[in-house]
Chains A and B, each alone.
Chain A
């Protein structure tokens, strides 16, 4: 399975993270998104006329939407990430998967503007990002009241992976996460999952690492 990947892209990171969590090995094909704009070049435009990355290729299957990639990886290797199949849970998963596009458009847009100088109305992007964060905070808080730590149930699903990266990287776009305690707890729960991987700007939980031990040659 080949992923056309940019190391700083939160959408690409969703796919890398899902693959790591479900034990799927990806063949990474790095794309010079910045400064090279390779995703707009002929080779990648032929694969994805939408001109976006990530692109996931597996035999004849070519996927260009990250939510579909999460669903595919889970269905192939870790079906528990698709939820139990209960109607309400299925609906919640679909609800947050769709919602995740708002995070990409707002917080992701603010991040590209503030970090890589992409054009955009930064005030509107940040305001829309904050509105989406407030909605997510409320949704997670209601889940907590039901006794569930994650967006659709008490275990993480592809919906959590779809929403997590742009939320965790909101400060890159000048949007603080300080006002959202439930989001911070949720982020912590996701970052402490077995086989969790990082990306630049999403640091590992230092206190969850093994206690440092002296080197053998220092003993």
Chain B
């Protein structure tokens, strides 16, 4: 039994659109689970010894938990906004801590070096000042006023633009990113990273998007996002230590890492430590 507050949180365990009666066998925090449709067409998740686990279907995915979630799956109000296209990007497995997958998603400084000529390019490497806070009412980490020059910010962007970003961490292994929407100024494109922790150093990542883009074919949107994420994957698998260090003695952050610092502080405050390294080794 995992002695960690993360046990009572929701996690993505499959794409609802691809679920059938045979279902899929997977793992959640070390426990083998089975996700399948029942005879009424509803999603059902069972753990070891046939234990029935909590289920919720949100944002194209099936969510479950080994414990007892005290709240519903976190809200993404844009998911109910008319005119958006919802994109199930599909699962990618990464041999890294689930917390590291989220932390990497929150980082912008790597764009010119890892997502060269797409999300960033040299010499436009500066991360300007931005604001980070832990919002007490929602109990979420927020980074706002993040700006970055991008050669091809989205599939719908033609040419380089300075993109504005907002980041949210509403759950320990999930992050929602809001970014400038090239075809519709004034609105935000939503790109989410839902991470399923398989083990402390292994995760399945389920990216999902809610975009204003009526023109780009769905497959192109999926390929764009998979390209970005697969560029990250090889970096994530080589990070040392494998677990995300929460001890401030382990690493020296810079100003560009403010979001990561707040994320780690928030994890520590809640005892969200599955996938974390508590004491520097």
Q: What is the distance, in angstroms, from A110's C-beta to the closest C-beta of chain B?
A: 12
CA distance A177 to B140 in the complex (A): 41
| Chain B 86-136 interface residues, beta-carbon cutoff 8 Å to A | 88-93, 95, 113-114, 116, 122-124
Q: What is the distance, in angstroms, from B52's C-beta to the closest C-beta of chain A?
A: 24
Contact bitstring B67-103, A, C-beta under 8 A = 1, else 0: 0000000000000000000001111110100000000
- Per a CB cutoff under 8 Å, which of B93, B114, B220, B234 touches A117? B93
CA distance A174 to B92 in the complex (A): 14
Q: Does B230 contact A (CB under 8 A)?
A: yes
Q: Does A201 contact B (CB under 8 A)?
A: yes
Chain B residues, Cβ within 8 Å of A212: 122-123
The residue of chain A having its C-beta at the shortest distance from the C-beta of B116 within the complex is: A204
Q: Is the pair A116, B92 in contact by a Cβ cutoff of 8 Å? A: yes
- Per a CB cutoff under 8 Å, which of B95, B123, B231 touches A201? B231
Chain B residues, Cβ within 8 Å of A38: 219
CA distance A115 to B218 in the complex (A): 21
Q: Is the pair A7, B223 in contact by a Cβ cutoff of 8 Å? A: yes
Q: Is the pair A34, B90 in contact by a Cβ cutoff of 8 Å? A: yes
Q: Is the pair B220, A35 in contact by a Cβ cutoff of 8 Å? A: no
Q: What is the distance, in angstroms, from B269's C-beta to the closest C-beta of chain A?
A: 34
Q: Is the interface of A mostly helix, strand, loop or mixed?
A: loop
The residue of chain B having its C-beta at the shortest distance from the C-beta of A169 within the complex is: B234
Q: Is the pair A116, B91 in contact by a Cβ cutoff of 8 Å? A: yes
Q: Please, how many residues of chain A have a CB less than 8 angstroms from a CB on the other chain?
A: 27
CA distance A38 to B219 in the complex (A): 10
- Per a CB cutoff under 8 Å, which of B226, B227, B229, B234 touches A171? B234
Q: What is the distance, in angstroms, from A87's C-beta to the closest C-beta of chain B?
A: 40
Q: Does A215 contact B (CB under 8 A)?
A: yes
- Per a CB cutoff under 8 Å, which of A34, A172, A174, A206 touches B113? A206
Chain A residues, Cβ within 8 Å of B222: 32, 35-36
Q: Is the pair A30, B227 in contact by a Cβ cutoff of 8 Å? A: no
Q: Is the pair B230, A200 in contact by a Cβ cutoff of 8 Å? A: yes
Chain A residues, Cβ within 8 Å of B113: 206
Chain B residues, Cβ within 8 Å of A36: 90, 219, 222
Chain A residues, Cβ within 8 Å of B93: 114-117
Q: Does B18 contact A (CB under 8 A)?
A: yes
Chain A residues, Cβ within 8 Å of B116: 203-204
CA distance A138 to B234 in the complex (A): 26
Q: What is the distance, in angstroms, from B91's C-beta to the closest C-beta of chain A?
A: 6
CA distance A215 to B162 in the complex (A): 14
Q: Is the pair B95, A174 in contact by a Cβ cutoff of 8 Å? A: yes
Contact bitstring B141-160, A, C-beta under 8 A = 1, else 0: 00000000000000000000
Q: Is the pair B220, A30 in contact by a Cβ cutoff of 8 Å? A: yes
| Chain A 5-43 interface residues, beta-carbon cutoff 8 Å to B | 6-8, 30-32, 34-36, 38
Q: Does B237 contact A (CB under 8 A)?
A: yes
| Chain A 165-194 interface residues, beta-carbon cutoff 8 Å to B | 171-172, 174
The residue of chain A having its C-beta at the shortest distance from the C-beta of B235 within the complex is: A203
Q: Is the pair A117, B204 in contact by a Cβ cutoff of 8 Å? A: yes
CA distance A116 to B231 in the complex (A): 15
Q: Is the pair B230, A35 in contact by a Cβ cutoff of 8 Å? A: no
Chain A residues, Cβ within 8 Å of B123: 212-215
Q: Does B190 contact A (CB under 8 A)?
A: no
Chain A residues, Cβ within 8 Å of B226: 7-8, 34, 200
Q: Does B169 contact A (CB under 8 A)?
A: no
Chain B residues, Cβ within 8 Å of A31: 219
CA distance A174 to B114 in the complex (A): 20
CA distance A7 to B226 in the complex (A): 8
17 contacts between A and B (CB under 8 A): A6-B223, A8-B226, A30-B220, A31-B219, A32-B222, A35-B88, A35-B89, A114-B93, A171-B237, A200-B226, A200-B233, A201-B230, A203-B114, A203-B116, A203-B231, A209-B122, A212-B122
Q: Taking beta carbons and an 8 Å cutoff, which residues of B are in contact with A?
A: 15, 18, 88-93, 95, 113-114, 116, 122-124, 204, 217-220, 222-223, 226-231, 233-234, 237
